[in-house]
Structure 1
Amino acid sequence: MTFQPRGFDFLKDVDVRLTVELGRTQMKLKDVLGLTEESVVMLDKLTDELLDVMVNGKLIARGEVVSQGDRFGLRIVEIAGGEPTEAIAPASKKGAKGDAA
């Protein structure tokens, strides 16, 4: 019997838990027990901030909420550990310390 490595193909069918975190807050237990159907809980994220996408509790991406029909969805905007999507500053700036004039 010979073993032929297939890269990570054998992991493709493993179930994982994908979580999208809207935000967090800290509350005292008495406040949690006081929640009702009309309660509003303020979270630490602003409305224009990207949401955290986690697999088994590990951050893998950030995204934004979209609506498709009568369901919510998520558009992935950036992958964790990837290059930032913002413009990168030029390598040298005039007048920067150590630059020749």
Structure 2
Amino acid sequence: MSDMTEAPLLGAPADPFDMGGNGLHEAANHYRFLADIPVRLSVEVGSASLRLAEIMELSEGSVVELDRQANDLLDINVNGTLVARGEVVTIDGRFGIRVAEVVSKNVGHARVERRI
């Protein structure tokens, strides 16, 4: 059951666009078409700045030190925008990510990346 396609349903799924009362649910219906747009989720373990000469010297077995501690949470990005932080888990021998904190629920500042 690694891809959860065989997971049992536990009642009706929650509506991700239900923003509560006061007419907000009605306004959210206008954005329902966005739910089918594919986005790219990526996880950043860390980064390093290297000179080109240092990169050219890399070989099998080389180690590059990253700018993050081993116990720090990893950045979860959607289309290059940080949305959450999490930790690595394994599921049936595959990597996964458990969301530990959501950075911001305000998606109004999200950057749209177009790829042609």
Q: TM-score, normalised by structure 1?
A: 0.73
Higher helix share: 2
Aligned to 2:108: none
Q: Which runs of 4+ in 1 moved over 3 A?
A: none
Aligned mates of 1:26, 1:70 — CA distance in 2:
31
Aligned to 1:75: 98
Aligned to 2:76: 53
Aligned mates of 2:92, 2:62 — CA distance in 1:
27
- Residue ranges of structure 2 left out of the alignment (5+ in a row): 1-25, 106-116
- Residue ranges of structure 1 left out of the alignment (5+ in a row): 83-101
Q: How many residues in Structure 1 have an aligned counterpart in Structure 2? A: 79
Aligned to 2:85: 62
Aligned mates of 1:48, 1:58 — CA distance in 2:
22
Q: TM-score, normalised by structure 2?
A: 0.64
Instruction: Give the % identical residues.
Output: 44
Aligned mates of 2:102, 2:30 — CA distance in 1:
22
Deviation at 1:69, TM superposition (A): 1.6
The correspondence for 1:14, drawn from 28, 37, 48, is 37
Larger radius of gyration between Structure 1 and Structure 2? 1
Deviation at 1:9, TM superposition (A): 1.3
